[in-house]
Structure 1
């Protein structure tokens, strides 16, 4: 190199250094009122971001008593105050990352100048960032420009800029660091850094790292443990102690040497610390699951409903998983356990293509709290072990249908229209042809070209009289009687009643022409659903509605019973007791208001009409008798064509519920019930609502209500006792 070239380059570097120093000093001068321009606005804005954008925290989901059941997070972080962090951890970090941390004002002049000259002259890219600067960088990457989803390109660009190897980035970072040092004491900056930095595997902050790596609180971190964590911040992935134990040990021991050089550790103590094993939790890190799988196989379905409910209420997924909320749910641990035990007693969890669910709701005129959501299948990701993450109890996943449980809506509409009274007789012939059907088997009478009547019979072997009271019809469930009643009432009021009493998402799903199939693209589709919810009153195909052929939600079915037992007051089935933010302040949740959907007298009369199903002669009587059931109860069973699914809906004034057994993977064929634990798919089914579903309901309820007072059902309203 010629001397002139060297001189020119040296002169350029000196000028560069001068510009850098001036640029770094700029915020101080600006703060004193000497200079003010666009750059200061940028620095102030970014500093505000650090102050206004709180770091992502873990959201905790609890049961009704406040016991944690799950954690939801994108960054596992346990906020830790300065006095909750061991001195060994603090000095390990300062010694290896910023020895002069307590002496500078945000920027290490010597290191910054050396890095600037080296980078500009073509040497290795150097950092020389202080802990304050690293705090700024980590906050920008992990908080301000945190990527919220795969489409968050703006955040990705922000992260790239926060990490780019350029003088411009270093200059901006240094400016913010100096400004922070004028506003925050050193201990606060150090604590802030230790709460925001990443330690690999979605573990952020020293509080979470101490728990995950060593199973201790941050306050109890030893020299060796603190040195390991302090060394990791340099390159968390490459220094992961489980994947790279040798590199992690080498780096830890290097940090310990730096502590000796910084006179924060005696040589003899350092030697002992360096000789220690890494001491991390075997097979770790030990941290909770980041989603509802952490609620376990039993409580996971409830956690999933909580998540779904909050998202439908307006909370977005990122906020839910980063807001640090405490969500106290309405789940009763004991009730949920008994529901799970009962569902699994009836149907083995690994039984192929058979789901058995139970949803329990507490009636009330101000709120309908969901108490339990259970299934025979475990909640989780291992399908071979009978696990699923589909919301079987709450979602519209029973594609087989509810069967005769939908006769409740026909009865309610008939009472409202005056077409029937709860003690008045209705026609129940052995067979019937309804002209409301727009297509059917050739054996049905031809109404017009291509249009046949809807032909149906009562259950084979049944010996119904030609007429009976509506109360007896609800108890014994003749098909013909309810199709005739449906014709008298009109299809519009019946469909409307189903929505009013609680089948709202179910109805919306079916009106949209869609089915929800958790396992395959076409299995389980019910072709009659397209005609079952026809938009025109008395239009072809509507006759089958009262026999419940379309997909449904078991939770909504249970909420129907809750509405009836609440005097006709519908409320959304809510899993939310209270939501508080990271500071403990209550957060309002947008929920649909309760509605008086039918007169209280009608609801009370309908409850009396449904009060005989568990008594001798009722379709659920054997299941109730098997557990010695004695409580006044409303109930209605249902079985679909071909016995491919069955339901039971019922309840007492204290607790209502819906039980379902169905083929979640769809397919042709029925379900065979050989008794508890002996339920399977088959060709010719023998499943009925009074079997598996009713046994599941009464098996759980007998345990849950044990020791509680027996509450009578309300008295009927004379207005609804006879047809008007």
Structure 2
């Protein structure tokens, strides 16, 4: 019996197996092997790249410069226009005081909802306050919570005035996910990525849903990329490049790797800080916080429903949906987003209908994301930070620089320069320029800087860099040294204003004259200063000694200069900033206050890492008295002397003190003046050093008047401590009823002896009823009386005739 073998199939030998199948399997396996061999290392490379570049996305931030916070307190000099300027600068919105960053007003009553912020002394909590203004002052200040409790003070968050970038011109303001409005978080996902919480970087169902909507609409209304893909595209691949299959594949891999490495919260937070939302010149706007300021001029927390919808809509194409250029297109996109919000029940029908009818709410000009709104002031900030922060360490470091700028003072200064110089223009006068500095007399903070009449343009900063002859601006400091010798000089001292000759080295002679070409005989020292008589000035200055004048200038302002006789009449080239530092000594009542534009620097977490706002040391008694005597004299210079036009301008209410200055041939016009709160030093002239025909009173003082006509400031008062006010006739004190008697302030203990009323004589020009101040420099010591050995009768010293500017040019002129 034959055996049947089931392991053999004779028929199979007759039917060969198809070769193409075998080849397909072979090539498929080979391709898969090659693909995996390439894909695995490439994926590892991309994973390393994601780790490095994703971290950079989250931490590279520009450094921002802020103005000083407005500190409100009962009694503060403040009017409605100034308060509105301050609020507008800090991007407060009018009409809604229920939410942070808003305010409302009813007559003189203002309700302000401040935002919380970090200052140099720590965190300042948000609060809702009520401010009542009356008579140009804060009449009352209350917290609206808890029965309107009265407050001693309250600080409002400051305006951002500049941004210091690194190499990339990107504006970005880091926010935590908790700081992003909930409607923005959920609304963005509703429009761009509804399955964000569940997908792994790419969303197949989302792609299908987007395709259906776009087909139904007949055009692309909804994208198919997830938020993670968008983040990979803009943050890791870079925006603005042509989309290719290779680039799309890389984007998908990036998205999947990001999802594998980071949690959803981190991804979403990074997206909100990275998303591209617009462009201004070379400056790219990144992140929702910067976008809110750029498009709406508002803090992110202050956005309305319709503004949030528009911001979400702009994400899809900031250029295509630019609401400033394509209003109709942007409106349609915004309303589409509102519809998505309604569909996903993020808003109800009533809110949808209200928001859909609302205007776009775009600010007319881009918000405070500009790189530098105040170039002259920021230039000063950079200079003062340079010793602690090299430029490359400061830019892009994510720091907060808290400056001393007062937006209202800056606005008034800029406006005053623009209006005044325009009014002074004429065909016979060369183009005028200006530089000025405004400071706080209480602490030395620089409140405003104008470096050019084109104050918004970058360029030469005349407030800091321009060095021009200061003229008679130095005269008060010569008399300051004289009055530090109360046994020899007082405001009532008689000084000789007759022709004077000063013998210089090498047998040279100097014969300065008065600007009016006249001599005035024997005049009181206070009148010689207030009328700016040169001949009397030179006589007193040579008695004081030019060497001491140079030493005083060096001590108070750090200015090194040669001690020449011509220094007495202002033969010194300096900037407005340097002269502001010098005059700060007088304006502060004798304190040595280093001027500073920077109050402090905060790190990325809001902690102070450097402070520059230290309280100055109290004035020494001798310094305070001499400074106050000069203040009294310069108040007379305003009320009756070279600055009397200020009284005609209505500024007598401030009782200001001030000094005009004019260089040779009217090339440079100066004015330095102060009130109870502010000092301003102003220069007006021509860059080509041509004659302008302007005196101090007709040029720079006009700018000062324009500033203080609008800037709220306290009147200047001088206390009585340490001064002895006496009625005087001739060389002695007398009774108030004597004919021709004038009232003068003497250092206590140094008033001349009493004499009975003399025979009737011509009445002198009456002085104001000034008030005075503290201490006895002749007996107490302290201050610069001891520094320079005042009270000695030293020999006069001649200046070097070869180096003396007085040999080459006529003496300084002065205003009449």
Please, what TM-score do these two structures have when normalized by structure 1? 0.62
Match of 2:440 in 1: 362
Contact 2:297 2:366 in 1 (8 A): yes
CA distance in 2, matches of 1:39, 1:471: 81
Distance 1:422 1:655, change over 3 A: farther
Secondary structure of 1:288 counterpart: coil
Q: Which has the higher contact order (CA 8 A, sep 6+)?
A: 1
- List per-residue Cα deviations over 1:158-216 (Å, max 9, x = no partner): x99x99999899889957963664442x2441342133121231222245446655889
Larger of the two Rg values belongs to structure: 2
Matches within 5 A, 1:385-400: 391-392=461-462, 394-397=463-466, 399-400=467-468
Contact 2:656 2:716 in 1 (8 A): no
Distance 1:419 1:223, change over 3 A: closer
Match of 2:389 in 1: 314
Of 604-613 and 627-636, the range deviating more from structure 2: 627-636
Distance 1:498 1:198, change over 3 A: same
Distance 1:47 1:228, change over 3 A: closer
Match of 2:425 in 1: 351
Match of 2:257 in 1: 178
CA distance in 2, matches of 1:543, 1:173: 80
Match of 1:651 in 2: 674
Of 80-89 and 337-346, the range deviating more from structure 2: 337-346
Whether 1:717 aligns to 2:777 is yes
Contact 2:275 2:315 in 1 (8 A): no
Distance 1:693 1:219, change over 3 A: closer
Contact 1:404 1:638 in 2 (8 A): yes
Shift of 1:492: 4.5
Whether 1:380 aligns to 2:456 is yes
- List per-residue Cα deviations over 1:645-684 (Å, max 9, x = no partner): 23233435x3352443421433422324xxxxxxxxxxxx
Whether 1:83 aligns to 2:152 is no
Distance 1:215 1:414, change over 3 A: closer
Match of 2:367 in 1: 287
Contact 2:472 2:569 in 1 (8 A): yes
Whether 1:132 aligns to 2:245 is no
Match of 1:408 in 2: 476
Secondary structure of 1:588 counterpart: strand
CA distance in 1, matches of 2:233, 2:626: 68
Shift of 1:405: 1.3
Please, what TM-score do these two structures have when normalized by structure 2? 0.56
Match of 2:404 in 1: 329
CA distance in 2, matches of 1:634, 1:291: 38
Match of 1:601 in 2: 622
Secondary structure of 1:199 counterpart: strand
CA distance in 2, matches of 1:426, 1:222: 72
Structure number having the greater helix percentage: 1
Secondary structure of 2:277 counterpart: coil
Match of 2:12 in 1: none
Match of 1:430 in 2: 499
Match of 2:286 in 1: 204
Structure number having the greater strand percentage: 2
Matches within 5 A, 1:190-269: 190-201=268-279, 202-209=284-291, 220=305, 225=310, 228-232=313-317
Secondary structure of 2:402 counterpart: strand
Match of 2:593 in 1: 571
Match of 1:679 in 2: none
Contact 2:402 2:598 in 1 (8 A): yes
CA distance in 2, matches of 1:591, 1:178: 48
Of 407-416 and 542-551, the range deviating more from structure 2: 407-416
CA distance in 2, matches of 1:110, 1:16: 31
Shift of 1:403: 0.7
CA distance in 2, matches of 1:242, 1:252: 14
Secondary structure of 2:278 counterpart: coil
Matches within 5 A, 1:605-624: 605-609=626-630, 611-615=632-636, 619-620=641-642, 622-623=644-645
Contact 1:84 1:219 in 2 (8 A): no
Shift of 1:406: 1.3
CA distance in 2, matches of 1:108, 1:71: 43
CA distance in 2, matches of 1:227, 1:338: 38
CA distance in 2, matches of 1:480, 1:200: 65
Distance 1:576 1:345, change over 3 A: same
| Gaps in structure 1 of 5+ consecutive residues | 27-37, 112-127, 143-158, 382-387, 437-446, 512-532, 673-686
Shift of 1:605: 1.9
Shift of 1:643: 1.8
Contact 1:474 1:610 in 2 (8 A): no
Contact 1:434 1:453 in 2 (8 A): yes
CA distance in 2, matches of 1:190, 1:165: 26
Secondary structure of 2:645 counterpart: helix
CA distance in 2, matches of 1:722, 1:189: 75
Secondary structure of 1:189 counterpart: helix
Distance 1:470 1:20, change over 3 A: farther
CA distance in 2, matches of 1:362, 1:279: 42
CA distance in 1, matches of 2:681, 2:401: 30
Shift of 1:641: 1.0
- List per-residue Cα deviations over 1:521-570 (Å, max 9, x = no partner): xxxxxxxxxxxx45xx5xxxx33333224443334423323213445432
Please report the RMSD computed on the Cα atoms of aligned residues, expressed in angstroms.
Answer: 5.7
**Equivalent position to 1:545, from 567, 585, 600:** 567
CA distance in 1, matches of 2:631, 2:571: 21
Secondary structure of 2:660 counterpart: strand
Of 426-435 and 413-422, the range deviating more from structure 2: 413-422
